[in-house]
Amino acid sequence: MEKNDIEELRARVGCAAVLEHEGFAIDRKESTRRAVKFRRDDDIVIVIHGDRGWFDARSDAKGDVFALASYLHAIGFAEALAFVGDLVAFQPTMPTWEKPLHQTQPMASVADRWNHRKRLWRASATWTYLRQCRALPWQIISAAIEADVLREGPYGSMWAKHVDEAGAVIGWEERGPDWRGFSTGGAKALFQFGANNPRRICVTEAAIDALSLAVIEQTRTDTLYVSTGGGWSPLTALALDTLASGKGAWLVAATDNNVQGEVFADRLRQMADSNSCDFSRLRPEAEDWNEELKERRGVESCRIRGQRIKGEAAARLTAALDPLPARRRLRRGDQRTENRGRSGFASVTTPKEPQMFVSPQSVRCSKALPAATRCTPCSIVTASRPSTITG
């Protein structure tokens, strides 16, 4: 076959035709106009470059339509030519994308869009999502706010910051009750939360998993909890390699307990070997660390998408998950301690306010505590900090 014939065949048959012919289906939820995700059982192939290119999300395989045919059937180039030629008349079912509205002005920069969003505050939509749907305790959310790694996204979603080597924001993970994605125009590197000069680096696949693992481990002072955002970009590999090359570094593959998590863990193991640093594999008993945290705390509300918990059930859940008093404006003459923020609201506390402590496993109350202070379903102890509580 002449070179011109090969080029014409490449132009007439796209990667989507090969994948659909082989039983792959489009994952519309996680696809975009520029990157269409195809799934078949545990196999994942991303089609890019206007249906002219592809790559395997779990390996380094990539190429054009002929390379795709060779990869799927383990055949040579001549056989791949014949296979692709048989698909000239095959019309794949491609998704239809709504035409975006015409932009009258250029999009703001990634840093400007990040700075434009508000930080989380108590009882905000994102705070409620993280507390009730994701079972994150208020202490870890407050610590993340203090570290300036979270922002309020649209419709109650959470933005989790990814930074470059200089610490500048270059993108963010987006997670919400009905949405997951990554910032438009942003770049994936690492979400980072924890120690500034860590020895131990726990690598997860999502920012919420990183925060969940920090809760389970009670935020170890020697650990940096990071997230790749579910990808493995060159910036991600560079950032991880920099952390692994530190003196006495210990790389922990805390990725999901599934096939993709094992692929990422193997890459981290190879990276640790190349940098001669310590390595260990840390698997959640559930599929990911947030599911593990929710199982330990007995929270299942996030499994019901698009619904709200109302009435007495909502009151019980709120009381169990958040012992802090509600925010209100202070009246003149109020002598209690106040911490006033930019919003003009103040958190009012009394000196003997109950505290909430979460153990990495179920919290056990000693016999010295009355039974009324124990909340078994959520593994929470509400009492002034006694020396007899053990975790």
Q: How confident is the model at residue 54 (pLDDT cuts 50, 70, 90)?
A: very high
- For the chain, the average pLDDT equals 77
Q: Is residue 329 part of a domain?
A: no
Structural domain harbouring 160: 111-296
Residues 52 and 117 in one domain: no
Amino acid at 194: G
Q: What span, in angstroms and rounded, lies between the C-alpha atoms of 341 and 51?
A: 51
Residues 129 and 239 in one domain: yes
Phi-psi domain of 230 (left: phi exceeds 0; alpha: psi -120 through 50; beta: other): left
**CA end-to-end span of the chain:** 71
Pairing state of beta strands 380-383 and 355-357?
Answer: antiparallel
pLDDT tens for residues 173-194?
Answer: 999 988 788 998 899 999 999 9
Q: Is residue 327 part of a domain?
A: no
The arithmetic mean of pLDDT across residues 285-305, rounded, is: 78
CB of 356 within 8 A of CB of 137?
yes
Residues 122 and 268 in one domain: yes
137 φ, ψ (degrees, to nearest 5): -70, 155
Q: State residue 236's pLDDT score.
A: 92
Q: State residue 250's pLDDT score.
A: 95
Q: Residue with structure tokens 């192939």?
A: 45
Q: State residue 249's pLDDT score.
A: 94
Q: State residue 216's pLDDT score.
A: 95
Q: Point out which residues pair with 180 in neighbouring strands.
A: 175
Residues 283 and 148 in one domain: yes
Q: How confident is the model at residue 90 (pLDDT cuts 50, 70, 90)?
A: confident
Q: State residue 107's pLDDT score.
A: 73
Residues 270 and 386 in one domain: no
Amino acid at 223: T
Residue 314 has pLDDT above 80, yes or no: no
Q: What span, in angstroms and rounded, lies between the C-alpha atoms of 190 and 194?
A: 13
Residues 196 and 262 in one domain: yes
Q: Point out which residues pair with 38 in neighbouring strands.
A: 26, 45
Lowest mean pLDDT among 66-75, 218-227, 307-316, 339-348: 339-348
Q: What span, in angstroms and rounded, lies between the C-alpha atoms of 118 and 129?
A: 16
Most confident of 1-5, 6-10, 47-51, 99-103: 47-51
The arithmetic mean of pLDDT across residues 290-305, rounded, is: 73
Residues 127 and 67 in one domain: no
Q: What span, in angstroms and rounded, lies between the C-alpha atoms of 11 and 303?
A: 44
Task: Give the CATH number of the domain where residue 151 resides.
Answer: 3.40.1360.10
CB of 157 within 8 A of CB of 128?
no
Lowest mean pLDDT among 25-34, 124-133, 370-379: 370-379
Q: State residue 86's pLDDT score.
A: 83
Q: Is residue 337 part of a domain?
A: no
Task: Give the CATH number of the domain where residue 8 resides.
Answer: 3.90.580.10
Most confident of 141-150, 329-338, 342-351, 375-384: 141-150
Residues 144 and 213 in one domain: yes
Q: Residue with structure tokens 């987006």?
A: 174
Residue 102 has pLDDT above 90, yes or no: no
Lowest mean pLDDT among 211-215, 315-319, 355-359: 355-359
Q: Is residue 326 part of a domain?
A: no
Amino acid at 169: V
pLDDT tens for residues 223-276?
Answer: 999 999 988 888 999 999 999 999 999 999 999 999 889 999 999 999 999 999
Phi-psi domain of 191 (left: phi exceeds 0; alpha: psi -120 through 50; beta: other): beta
The arithmetic mean of pLDDT across residues 311-327, rounded, is: 44
pLDDT tens for residues 262-286?
Answer: 999 999 999 999 999 999 999 999 9
Q: Is residue 315 part of a domain?
A: no
Residues 121 and 264 in one domain: yes
CA dihedral angle for residue 267, residue 237, residue 39, residue 253, rounded to 10 degrees: 40
Q: Which residues of 164-203 are buried (b: 16+ CB within 10 A; e: fewer)?
A: eeeeebbbbbbbbbeeebbbeebbbbbbbbbbeebbbbbb
Give the residue, 88 or 219, on which the prediction is more confident. 219
Q: Is residue 102 part of a domain?
A: no
Q: What span, in angstroms and rounded, lies between the C-alpha atoms of 104 and 256?
A: 42
Q: State residue 300's pLDDT score.
A: 62
Residues 33 and 180 in one domain: no
Question: Measured at the alpha carbon of residue 292, what is the angle toward residues 37 and 358, in degrees to the nearest 5?
Answer: 140
Q: State residue 94's pLDDT score.
A: 61
Q: Is residue 91 part of a domain?
A: no
142 φ, ψ (degrees, to nearest 5): -60, -40
Q: What span, in angstroms and rounded, lies between the C-alpha atoms of 2 and 108?
A: 48
221 φ, ψ (degrees, to nearest 5): -70, -15
CB of 73 within 8 A of CB of 86?
no
Our measurement of the distance from residue 302's CA atom to the centroid of its chain's CA atoms, rounded to an integer in Å, reads 15
Residues 75 and 215 in one domain: no
User: Given 296, 319, 339, which residue is the final one in a domain?
Assistant: 296
Tally of domains within the chain: 3
Q: Is residue 133 part of a domain?
A: yes
Closest CA to 175 of 150, 146, 197: 150
Residues 151 and 254 in one domain: yes
289 φ, ψ (degrees, to nearest 5): -75, -30
Q: State residue 105's pLDDT score.
A: 61
Most confident of 234-243, 362-371, 379-388: 234-243
Q: What span, in angstroms and rounded, lies between the C-alpha atoms of 57 and 60?
A: 8
